């Protein structure tokens, strides 16, 4: 049975960053009061990217995917599985993954979307690993892509300042040596109401509430709890300790969640990859975006052990432990 390893990564961010001051000025025109200080203090976010109307999730996903393929030294002909984690697909169907497959010129293999909100990329990477380990794929393109700006209520400062748009991608390849050391996926549907976008489309009309809603305190409390437990569980699978983790890459939701999680695991903050200040919360895109940035700036190196974690609506969470081969 083959193993799988991460052999390439890429990312895409739309347009110029929108700073907190710029966002505050835009919101003031709607009668919504906020400030750079208010946002930074509560979230650690300094800026985010917001996609223009003509840019879709599949556009960002294809850009990130193309860069990941180039990084891996592969072409469209090599890819036999495409998984896109997204909560903001271009359309009801076909899947965003099929649209990405078309845009990248991939003409073989399976393509499908996976929806686990902010845990989506961790779910997708785990799924691709299983496909490869079962011999059902050799080169998988795994992407997290979101345009969350489309589902935000811009009159609700408690949520609209938190999110950004973007995409991140990885290429997972069959390997004789293990690159993915373990993964843990969990969900508790009883908490579906604390973070959701409850609307749908029926008979040509939006039904229900079409914007994201969140119970921030409940999400914070549960997120810190499950991020710690999933980290310890996946490390136990690999018979490793937190001291053997070179880098923690958690979902980039809020700087305080990252700090609390690192403290509870005993991982120093200088071993935590933080991009929430630059990107905001990009949901399923946040982990691969952070991974790609840290890899390209030289922090991530071959031989290192990386713990990636997601937590989001559903309520879902998960962790993937990887040893880098490149």
Strands (E), 102-217: 110-114, 139-147, 165-175, 180-187, 195-197, 200-202, 205-207, 212-214
Residue 46 known to be catalytic: no
Residue 203 known to be catalytic: no
Longest alpha-carbon distance in the chain: 59
Q: Which one from 118, 160, 254, 279 is the annotated catalytic residue?
A: 118
CB-based burial, 263-283: b 16+ in 10 Å, e otherwise: ebbebeeeebbbbbebbbbbb
Residue 160 known to be catalytic: no
Q: Which one from 98, 251, 254, 279 is the annotated catalytic residue?
A: 251
Catalytic site residues? 118, 251, 281
């Amino acid at each position: 049975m083959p193993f799988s390893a991460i052999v390439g990564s890429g990312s895409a961010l739309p347009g110029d960053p929108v700073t907190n001051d710029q966002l505050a000025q835009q919101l003031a025109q709607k009668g919504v009061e906020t400030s750079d200080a208010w946002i930074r203090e509560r979230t650690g976010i300094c800026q985010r990217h917001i996609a223009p109307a003509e840019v879709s999730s599949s556009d960002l996903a294809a850009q990130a995917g193309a860069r990941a393929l180039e990084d891996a030294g592969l072409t469209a002909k090599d890819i036999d599985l495409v998984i896109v984690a997204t909560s903001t697909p271009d359309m009801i169907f076909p899947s965003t993954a099929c649209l990405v497959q078309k845009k990248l010129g991939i003409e073989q293999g399976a393509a499908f979307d996976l929806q686990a909100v902010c845990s989506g990329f961790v779910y997708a990477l785990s799924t691709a690993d299983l496909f490869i380990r079962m011999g059902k794929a050799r080169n998988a393109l795994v992407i997290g892509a979101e345009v969350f700006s489309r589902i935000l209520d811009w009159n609700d400062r408690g949520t609209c300042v938190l999110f950004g748009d973007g995409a991140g991608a990885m290429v997972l390849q069959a390997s004789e040596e293990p690159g993915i050391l373990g993964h843990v996926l969990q969900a508790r549907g009883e908490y579906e109401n604390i973070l959701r976008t409850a609307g749908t489309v029926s008979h040509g009309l939006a039904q229900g509430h079409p914007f994201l809603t969140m119970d921030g305190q409940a999400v914070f409390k549960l997120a810190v709890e499950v991020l710690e437990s999933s980290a310890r569980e996946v490390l136990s699978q690999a018979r490793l300790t937190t001291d053997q983790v070179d880098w923690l890459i958690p979902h980039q939701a809020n700087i305080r969640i990252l700090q609390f999680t690192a403290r509870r695991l005993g991982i120093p903050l200088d071993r935590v990859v933080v991009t929430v200040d630059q990107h905001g919360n990009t949901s399923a895109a946040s982990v691969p975006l952070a991974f790609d940035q840290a890899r390209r700036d030289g922090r991530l190196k071959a031989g290192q052990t990386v713990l990636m974690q997601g937590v989001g609506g559903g309520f879902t969470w998960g962790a993937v432990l990887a040893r880098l081969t490149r």
